[in-house]
Amino acid sequence: MHGLRASPFKSAYVAAKHGLEGLSKVIALEGGGRGVTSTCVSPGYVRTPLVDKQIADQAQAHGISENEVVESIFLGESAVKRLAEPTEVADLVLWLCGEKAGMANGSSFTLDGGWSAR
């Protein structure tokens, strides 16, 4: 999501993700006429070992439970109150790699449980 939105204290990460969004759009424009497509996938928090570590670190830093971190910090602004599963991201990527997604070019697909709708 940080290619589309910003969060405080993450300037380098947000800048890098915005750069990838821009690069993807250039590839889409330059390659589209030759059948090359480029699309970004922008998930929110996905249940991975990295996120599990972030949850534990945030719980310790704020003196709250891991459940409170997930509910209040990670999902507080999300309409869907759960972390995404890796298979949900993989399913979208598989579709994007298929023939039925040929017109999905130069865009970004969000899987953020509604966080970016605000």
Any catalytic annotation for residue 45?
no
| Band (110; pLDDT cuts 50, 70, 90) | very high
Residues 6+ apart with CB under 8 A from 41: 89, 92, 93, 96, 108, 109, 111
Containing H/E element for 109? strand 108-111
Burial-class residue 3 by CB neighbours within 10 Å (0-12, 13-18, 19+).
buried
- Residues 9-50 have pLDDT tens digits of 779 988 999 999 999 999 999 999 999 999 999 999 999 999
Exactly one of 13, 23, 79, 90 is catalytic; name it. Answer: 13
Structural domain boundaries in the chain: 39-117
**What is the reported pTM?**
0.86
pLDDT at 3 over 90: no
Q: Ramachandran region of residue 42, left (φ > 0), alpha (ψ -120 to 50) or beta?
A: beta
CA distance 68 to 60: 11
- Residues 56-108 have pLDDT tens digits of 999 999 999 999 999 999 999 899 999 999 999 999 999 999 999 999 999 99
